[in-house]
Amino acid sequence: MRKNCYCWLAAISFICCIIAMNTVAYAHHGGVSSAFGPGAPIETASPLALGKGRILIYEKFEYVPFEQKDNAEPENIDTFTFFNTVFGYGVTDALSIYGILPFTIKEQDTLGTSDGFGDLGFLVQYGFKLGERDGIRGLYNYGPEDSYGAPYSTDDLKMSVIAGMTVPTGTTSNRDDNGNRFDMGMQPGFAAPSFTFGFAASKMVIPHVTLTGDTSILTFTETNDGKPGNEVRFNVAGGYEIFEKPGGFFSRLDIIGESNFLHLTKDLNDNGEKENDSGGSMLYLSPGLRASFGKHVSVGALIKIPTWKDLNHESEQQGSEGLEEYRAIVTCSISF
């Protein structure tokens, strides 16, 4: 009876993750998912664990050019460029911890460039699965067979819970070419802690095809300058394995297709009032590729294309999510 209950709870959790399709994201920073390893998606978080004693080095590059709007002339936000370096360690086969060091370059027409290190982040991920062990089907913590380097596409329903926070170590005092302090959204750091919680799940639905979904919520704390809008994210990704050569230098190639749906809450200004020209909803459709080299190196590339949006006072917004020309993302992960 208990085993059947676990099965239903796991199945319901995964289905809810897939159909929820309601998310929120803040407009002025690049996110980092825990997606690495053979067959994993790129922007969507993967439930895959590192494995006990393993170390991960992960780099994510993201380039974002924005649409130029007449209402923002002559100070249109031009481009954002994000570099996120992640270090991970497998405490157990099920428990992985990560440290995240971001670096940001933000360019604004006539005002110049704001760059520097962002807020230091920490992430904890705990993995479990609905599968079979010793001939008994049930809900189990990850074992060695579920870690980085093991086959990603398996019949088990793999899941993980993710929790994290940032500490306000990033630069928040950059000034423009006129000597004035850049707005909050143009600073690399946010001057206050943030907290996040999420859930990810994946399963091979048919041979060579794996479906992955994640949802998360992130909230910022308020400062004297105001508060960025909270964010809830939802992503769904499908991966199709088109090539595999176990033991070879070029060991695997996957086609990745993702749907990234976001809803932004409104920012608060320094008086604690909502900024009406901020926030909204948008959908990205994102094609990509993931290549694996041996067992320990993986490279991903993705283009996020804004496909639909419903922004608050859109005619007054510029330089926010939903108003990009595109988002180009490249990731590289190495495990040893």
Please write the tens of the pLDDT for every residue from 192-246: 899 999 999 999 888 889 999 999 998 988 887 788 888 989 999 999 999 988 8
Residue 316 backbone class (left: φ over 0; alpha: ψ -120 to 50; beta: rest): alpha
Question: Is residue 304's pLDDT more than 90?
Answer: yes
> What is the percentage of the chain residues whose pLDDT exceeds 90?
56
Q: What's the CA dihedral at 312, 317, 323, 328 to 10 degrees?
A: -120
Hey, what domains does the chain have and what are their CATH numbers?
Answer: 2-335 (2.40.160.40)
Question: Is residue 68's pLDDT more than 70?
Answer: yes
Helix/strand/coil percent split, the chain, to 5: 10, 55, 40
Q: Who contacts 298 (Cβ-Cβ below 8 Å, separation ≥6)?
A: 36, 37, 38, 40, 290, 291, 292, 331, 332, 333
Backbone angles phi, psi at 196, to 5 degrees: -140, 150
Question: The tokens 């199945």 sit on which residue?
Answer: 11
The more confident residue out of 204 and 1 is: 204
Question: Is residue 127's pLDDT more than 50?
Answer: yes
Backbone angles phi, psi at 173, to 5 degrees: -120, 20
Pick the closest to residue 191 from 215, 160, 227 (CA basis): 227
Q: What is the DSSP string of 50-93?
A: --TT-EEEEEEEEEEEB---GGGTT--EEEEEEEEEEEEEESSS
- Please report the pLDDT score of residue 35 as a whole number: 65
- Are the beta carbons of 284 and 62 closer than 8 angstroms? no
3-state SS assignment for residue 40:
coil
250-264 vs 231-244, strand pairing mode: antiparallel
Whole-angstrom distance, CA of residue 199 vs CA of residue 234: 10
- Please report the pLDDT score of residue 207 as a whole number: 86
Both structure tokens of 326: 């595109």
- Please report the pLDDT score of residue 19 as a whole number: 34
Question: Is residue 72's pLDDT more than 70?
Answer: yes
- Please report the pLDDT score of residue 151 as a whole number: 53
- Please report the pLDDT score of residue 39 as a whole number: 74
Question: Is residue 6's pLDDT more than 70?
Answer: no
3-state SS assignment for residue 7:
helix
Both structure tokens of 251: 């060991």
Whole-angstrom distance, CA of residue 128 vs CA of residue 146: 9
Question: Is residue 91's pLDDT more than 90?
Answer: yes
pTM of the predicted structure, to 2 decimals? 0.86
Both structure tokens of 101: 């060091």
Backbone angles phi, psi at 202, to 5 degrees: -150, 155
- Are the beta carbons of 124 and 76 closer than 8 angstroms? no
Whole-angstrom distance, CA of residue 301 vs CA of residue 173: 33
- Please report the pLDDT score of residue 97 as a whole number: 95
Mean pLDDT of the chain, nearest integer? 85
DSSP alpha helix (H) spans, the chain: 2-19
Question: Is residue 30's pLDDT more than 60?
Answer: no
Q: What is the DSSP string of 291-308?
A: EEETTTEEEEEEEEEEEE
